[in-house]
Amino acid sequence: MSKVGVLGAGTWGIAVARILCAHHDVTVWSALPEEIDYIKKHHTHPKLKEIIIPDNMKLTTNLEEACAGEYIILGVPSVFVRSTVEKAKDYINDQILIDLAKGIELDSLYTMSEIIKDVLGKSTKLVALSGPTHAEEVARDMPSTIVSACNNLEVAEKVQNLFVGTCMRVYTNIDVIGVELCGALKNIIALAAGISNGLNFGDNTRAAIITRGLSEITRLGLSMGCLEQTFNGLAGIGDLIVTATSTHSRNFTCGTLIGQGYKPEEAIKKVGMVVEGINALPAAMQLAKRNNVEIPIINAVNEVINHGADPKETVNTLMNRDRKTELTRSISDINYENSIIRSKRGLGMKRVITYGTFDLLHYGHINLLKRAKALGDYLVVVVSTDEFVEHEKHKKCYFNYEQRKGLLESIRFVDLVIPEESWEQKIQDIKDYHIDTFVMGDDWKGKFDYLRDEGVEVIYLPRTPEISTTQIKEDLHKDKKGG
């Protein structure tokens, strides 16, 4: 049994509070006394009639009382997160904070966790709780899933445990920014799906919007150092499906009204609740610009909502853009770029490089590569091209470059394989790939010490003595003659 405070008695905050009441001591706070009074009197919520408020749910307008537990859940709309945390600041010390709000703050371009850290300080234990969860369905205990994201996995797991035995199955993730980006931007894609629905387009168009919309969000997230798995997970595609295909979704409903011809402000009024996708639009546009990422669907929604563009016209413009491929950069390029971004963000990604021919790949090579990777977090292997082997090493390989590259790329601790075309490229490689450590077998001892002037560590590891490519060839040759 834990003591949990829920700040915000909106539909989602109250839905989460209700399921936690089954096993925990829950106090819900609202800044609106009339909201608290209604819930106390009717044991339901004015905008969530399906919900039955359990007798053991405490309701208060006293913020200090609500912050007295080990957990504080922020269930206020994204635009009130900063002011609410500022109001609660004096009552927050080492509680675990759980944010439900989905959005990005204009100008600062902060996600909710970044706002909270901005107000409370970097050391706050913060979890983003986000996924495919309609309050209406959680209110009726329908089986649901959600992601608990925290850069400290243990904290994410503590929040995961809070929900054990409820209708909510929680998955953990460490990629807080990625989860929050999904939560904020999928609301805009849901607006687009609604507009398409309002124009009486069908499932084909909606599927296109969801698929290409996810691709936009993923591109933006990867440019910010997020994990690709996050976008293919519950907080990403999961939440996008549930938001872009359901009349429970305010964003989808608002988009539908706009597609039918209502002005955005009229549509918002008819929805009667906060439409987070509209709040997120300006920030999403700024974020994409800052990271130099193309977001055509989000941009089109922005044209319709904030610049009065005709919805049907906008769809035609989208459909007649330059032709594109679905193929994005290779995963190793993306992993590499992420490692660079993470290192620039000070997460200390250490990168190692090593060179070789790696013909007739054998366990001596593997021993070298495994030890090289163990010296850091990211291993770049530079494989001699066929021309380089022939003209510079005066050897002939049994496997050609592509075959040797493919073999190396299939080794789980090799992160990126690039060509070695000259003896002199090492200094440039070290610069291009932001290398921290240069590694070679000790048959090269002393040969590359000059690289230390480039600020890298130079390490020579003992060779595996009894095996070599030459040895293999000789033995096979002997067997053949003997055989």
Contact positions toward ligand C2G, by CB under 6 A? 355-358, 364-365, 368, 384, 420, 440-441, 443, 463-464, 467-468
DSSP 98: E
Of 273 and 398, nearer to ligand C2G (C-beta) is 398
Q: Which residues contact 472 (CB under 8 A, 6 or more apart)?
A: 360, 362
Number of Cβ within 10 Å of residue 134's Cβ equals: 19
Nearest 5°: phi and psi at 382? -105, 110
Nearest 5°: phi and psi at 141? 55, 30
**Cβ 388 to ligand C2G shortest distance, Å:** 8
User: In the structure encoding, which two tokens stand for residue 280, read together?
Assistant: 């997120």
d(CA 164, CA 147): 13
Are 459 and 438 contacting, i.e. CB atoms less than 8 angstroms apart? Answer: yes
Of 90 and 363, nearer to ligand C2G (C-beta) is 363
Strand partners of residue 378: 351
**Cβ 88 to ligand C2G shortest distance, Å:** 57
Of 32 and 374, nearer to ligand C2G (C-beta) is 374
DSSP 198: H
Residue nearest to ligand C2G (CB): 441
Of 252 and 358, nearer to ligand C2G (C-beta) is 358
Q: Is 229 exposed, middle or buried (0-12, 13-18, 19+ CB in 10 A)?
A: exposed
Of 196 and 354, nearer to ligand C2G (C-beta) is 354
Q: What is the DSSP string of 36-51?
A: HHHHHHHSSBTTBTT-
**Cβ 377 to ligand C2G shortest distance, Å:** 20
**Geometric angle at alpha carbon 439, from 446 and 386, rounded to 5°:** 95
**Cβ 462 to ligand C2G shortest distance, Å:** 7
- Whether 269 sits among the annotated catalytic residues: the reply is no
**Cβ 356 to ligand C2G shortest distance, Å:** 3
Are 223 and 291 contacting, i.e. CB atoms less than 8 angstroms apart? Answer: yes
Q: Which helix (H) or strand (E) holds 169?
A: strand 168-173
**Cβ 360 to ligand C2G shortest distance, Å:** 9
Of 443 and 475, nearer to ligand C2G (C-beta) is 443
**Cβ 478 to ligand C2G shortest distance, Å:** 19
Question: In the chain, how long is the greatest CA-to-CA distance?
Answer: 96
DSSP 312: H
DSSP 64: H
Catalytic residue among 158, 186, 373, 426: 186
Of 31 and 467, nearer to ligand C2G (C-beta) is 467
Instruction: Give the active site residues.
Output: 186
